[in-house]
A = this chain, B = another copy of it.
Amino acid sequence: MASETLALRNGWVVTQNPKREIVKADVLIENGRIASIGKVGNADETIDAKGCAVIPGLINAHTHISMTLMRGIADDVNLEKFLEKTFRVDALRTPEDIKAGAELGAVEMLRSGCTSFVDMYYGQDVIAEAVDESGIRGFLGWVVLDEKFTTQKGSPLKNCEAFIDKHSGRERIHPLVALQGVYVCSEDTLLGARKLAEKKDTLLHIHLSETRKEVYDHQASTGKRPGDWLYDIGFLSERLLAAHCAWLTMGEIRKLAERGVSAAHCPVSNMKLASGFEAPVPEMQSNGIAVGLGTDGCSSQNRLDMWGEMKTCALLHKVQRLDAAVMPAQRVFDMATIEGARALKIEKELGSIEVGKTADMAVIDLRHPAMVPTFRENLISNLVYSCQGDCVRDTLVNGKPVVLDGKFTTLDRDAVVERAQIIGEKFFN
C-alpha cells in the first residue's frame, strides 16, 4: 500500500482547514499522506465518494477501550456503587480479556469513522496488539498511580516506561504516560510521571476534577482544588491532556490555559454518572484551551460512539445555559476533529484534510435516510445532529482502507463479537 496511490473521487470534502472550507473535490493519497485535493488524475486505486462527505477521521480524546466488555454492567447507580462494581470485575481480567475488549472497541470506533483514540489503562501491551491488528491509531497511556493503590505487578511508573520503550516509533501506536488522578497519585508520583513524559517526549494524560467529591476531598486534604494544586506543584505543562475538567473554577481554567494544558470533554459519561454538571467548555475555549471530545469507557458511556458524543455535547451546553447558540455544530465538529488533534498536540499531522497531512479519513453516505436532505448549508449540522455510525461507509487510517462499504479489511468482525460475548459472561455472574 505504502507506495501506491489512492483517489477518493467526487465527494464533498469537509476539510476542517483554517477556513473550514467544504469543497467538491477528489483527494489523492500517496504514501499514507494527502498528496492533493482538487481534480485528481490517474491513481492505482479509486474510491467513489459521489453522494458522500469525506471527513477527517474522528478523534476520541479519552477512553478505556478494554472496558467495552463491561458494557451495561453498572448502570443507573451513583459513582461509588459504580466503582465498586467495575473494580470487582476489573480484578477478574486476564490479558486475553483486555485484548478482546480492545478489539471490540476498535471495531465499534473504526466502523463509525473514529480513527484515533486516547486510552488510559494498564495492560497496554495487549491493547497495542489490538491496535496493530485492527488498523486503528492508538494513543496508549499506561496508567500510573501510587504503588499502594495499584493491582499492577511491580512499579506502575517502571511498567509505563517499559511500555513506552517497547512501542516507541511504531506505526499508529503512540505510547504516553497516564495518571489515574490526584486521589491516588502523590506529588512524587505526579512529578515522576511528568519527568518520564519529558524524558521520552510523550503526552501526559490524567483524570481531572471529574466529580465534586474528588474536588472536595482534595481540598480537605491539601487546602487546594486539584487544578490549583497541580499548578502550584509544577505539574501542569503543554504535554498534559486533562480528561473531564467538569468542576474547574475560572481561576483553574486560567492556570491550565497559562501552562498550555488541553482538555478532553466527556459529556455522556459525566451525565450518565451524574458526576459532572456541565464542564465549563465555552470558558475553556475562550481562554484558548484546546478541548477534544472523549467517550470515556463503555462502562459509563455505554458506547464508543463519537456521533452520539457530539450531539450530546451540543445538547448539554444548550440546555444548561438555555442558549441554543452557545455550542453550535461547527464548534462541536471541530472538537471531534481538528481541536481534538490540537488537544493531542498532533494538529500538524491529523484532524483536517490538508495537503501533507496523514490520511486518516472517513466517508459518510449522504443518502442514508437520516442524512437526507443534505446540502452544503446543512452538512455540518447533519454531521453533528443526524449522523450516526451506520452512515459511515468507509474508514481510512494512514491512507489504508480499514473499513470499506461497512466491511472490515483487517479484523474478523464476527469473530471479535463472538469472543467478546463469550468472555463477557464471566463478568455478569
Interface residues of A (CB under 8 A from B): 69, 71-73, 75-79, 82, 104, 107-108, 111, 268, 270-278, 301-303, 305, 308, 311-312, 314-316, 318-319, 321-329, 367, 369-370, 372-375, 377-378, 381-382, 385-386, 388-390, 413-414, 416-418, 420-421, 423-425, 427-428
A83 to chain B, nearest CB (A): 12
Which residue of the partner chain B has the closest CB to A319? B271
A79 to chain B, nearest CB (A): 7
Other-chain contact of A372, B268, B276, B417 (Cβ < 8 Å) = B417
* Number of chain copies forming the complex: 2
Complex contact B329–A420 (CB within 8 A): no
Give bound CA distance, A379 to B421, whole Å: 13
Complex contact B318–A385 (CB within 8 A): no
A47 to chain B, nearest CB (A): 20
- For this complex, 17 residue pairs linking A to B, each with C-beta atoms less than 8 Å apart, are A69-B373, A71-B373, A72-B385, A72-B386, A76-B328, A76-B329, A78-B324, A79-B324, A268-B315, A271-B316, A271-B318, A278-B319, A301-B385, A305-B388, A312-B315, A369-B417, A375-B424
A85 to chain B, nearest CB (A): 12
Which B residues are CB-close (under 8 A) to A373?
A: 69, 71, 420-421, 423-425, 427-428
A417 to chain B, nearest CB (A): 5
Q: Known: A78-B325, A273-B324, A417-B372. Contact between A378 and B72, CB under 8 A?
A: yes
6 closest pairs, A vs B, by CB? A373-B424, A72-B378, A390-B390, A72-B381, A271-B315, A76-B328
Which B residues are CB-close (under 8 A) to A270?
A: 319
Which B residues are CB-close (under 8 A) to A381?
A: 71-72, 75-76, 302
Complex contact B274–A322 (CB within 8 A): yes
Which residue of the partner chain B has the closest CB to A321? B274
**Which of A273, A311, A424 counts the most B-chain CB atoms under 10 A from its CB?**
A311
A242 to chain B, nearest CB (A): 20
A405 to chain B, nearest CB (A): 14
Which B residues are CB-close (under 8 A) to A108?
A: 369-370
Complex contact B374–A421 (CB within 8 A): yes
Q: Known: A378-B71, A378-B72, A388-B388. Contact between A367 and B274, CB under 8 A?
A: no
